[in-house]
């Protein structure tokens, strides 16, 4: 009870803080919107012409979802840690019963809600603005654990980044530098056969790859029926590892 009370208190404060930063709210949701509008509605996919967007529109749903699942936790948790450190909030929290793990659980919960809403927005826009069709099956509900696990994973990653970077600017620069290649080279927007053969093993190293492949089996008709459990388990294992690393990385002393 005490633990849930502490986590709830931290999460409520973080949620209010987020909601009251209007520009943060706007751009958190505007970013995926503009991505879908540009690539899904303006550029459009050209399945017969080859090139970058050579697959049907629904093929790229994992990529669109990956933008929020990847960028939002990395930048938000990393920045929050930098902000906490600059404002001596961790020094204060270190003398309260709230543990580092509880802090990260609270902020992961807030990010899960934010990214869940953004994901719904993306799915709706993809259906509305492109000719994508998402197979409505019971297994579509498995999108939830995929998204939640990915958020946990990248919140942990963001915490590590926040610890290593010495400022909020540093966190933003580092998260962009890491996230951009991950976004495009994780079997999201660019399929493996468009990359040099030697690059294949590197794609397997990206945690986002398992998110993208798993989500694709749930949202892209031609991939339906392909096994997703392996991707889910790998994602879960990586989420645990990164979350533990992130919780450990959160500063407790100077």
Partner 1 sequence: MNEAVVATGVGKTYGDTVALDGVDLTVAEGEVFGLIGPNGAGKTTLIRALTGTTPVTGNIEVFGAEPTAVDSERVGLLPQSFSPPARLTAREMIDYYAGLYDNARDTDAVLADVGLTETADSWYETLSGGQQRRVCVGTALVNDPDLLFLDEPTTGIDPAGRRALWELLESLAAGGTTVVLTSHSMAEVQRLSDRVGLLQDGQLVAVGTPEDLIADHGGRSRLVIGTDASSAAASALAAADFTATASPSEVVVDGVSPVDIGDAVEVLSEAGISYDTLTWTEPSLEDVYLQLTGESFEGAMTPGASAMAEESSEEPTEPAAAGGDR
Q: How far is the CB of 93 from partner 1 (least distance, A)?
A: 8
Q: How far is the CB of 22 from partner 1 (least distance, A)?
A: 10
Q: Does 253 bind partner 1 (CB under 8 A)?
A: yes
Could you tell me if 104 and 151 are in contact, meaning their C-beta atoms sit under 8 angstroms apart? no
Tell me which residues in 95-114 interact with partner 1 (CB under 8 A): 95-98
d(CA 223, CA 178): 28
Name which of 109 and 149 has its Cβ closer to partner 1: 109
Could you tell me if 71 and 196 are in contact, meaning their C-beta atoms sit under 8 angstroms apart? no
Name which of 88 and 177 has its Cβ closer to partner 1: 88
Q: How far is the CB of 252 from partner 1 (least distance, A)?
A: 7
Q: Does 254 bind partner 1 (CB under 8 A)?
A: yes
Name which of 83 and 139 has its Cβ closer to partner 1: 83
Q: Does 167 bind partner 1 (CB under 8 A)?
A: no
Name which of 13 and 34 has its Cβ closer to partner 1: 13
Q: Does 25 bind partner 1 (CB under 8 A)?
A: no
Name which of 193 and 254 has its Cβ closer to partner 1: 254
Tell me which residues in 78-97 interact with partner 1 (CB under 8 A): 86-89, 91-97
């Amino acid at each position: 009870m005490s633990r849930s009370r502490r986590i709830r208190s931290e999460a409520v404060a973080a949620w209010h803080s987020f909601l009251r930063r209007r520009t943060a709210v706007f751009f958190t949701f505007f970013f995926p919107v503009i991505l879908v509008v540009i690539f899904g509605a303006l550029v459009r996919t050209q399945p017969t012409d080859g090139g970058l967007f050579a697959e049907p529109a629904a093929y790229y749903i994992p990529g669109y979802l990956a933008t929020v699942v990847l960028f939002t936790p990395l930048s938000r948790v990393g920045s929050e840690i930098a902000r906490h450190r600059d404002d001596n909030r961790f020094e204060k929290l270190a003398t309260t019963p709230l543990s580092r793990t509880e802090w990260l659980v609270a902020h992961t919960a807030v990010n899960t809600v934010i990214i869940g809403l953004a994901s719904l927005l993306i799915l709706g826009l993809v259906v509305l603005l492109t000719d994508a069709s998402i197979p409505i099956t019971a297994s579509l509900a498995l999108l939830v654990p995929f998204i939640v696990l990915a958020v946990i994973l990248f919140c942990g990653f963001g915490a590590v980044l926040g610890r290593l970077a010495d400022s909020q600017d540093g966190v933003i620069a580092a998260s962009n530098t890491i996230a951009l290649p991950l976004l495009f080279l994780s079997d999201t927007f660019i399929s493996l056969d468009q990359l040099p053969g030697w690059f294949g093993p590197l794609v397997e190293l990206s945690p986002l790859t398992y998110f993208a492949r798993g989500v694709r089996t749930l949202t892209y008709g031609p991939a339906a029926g392909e096994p997703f459990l392996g991707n889910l388990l790998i994602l879960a294992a990586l989420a645990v590892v990164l979350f533990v690393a992130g919780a450990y990385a959160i500063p407790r002393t100077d």
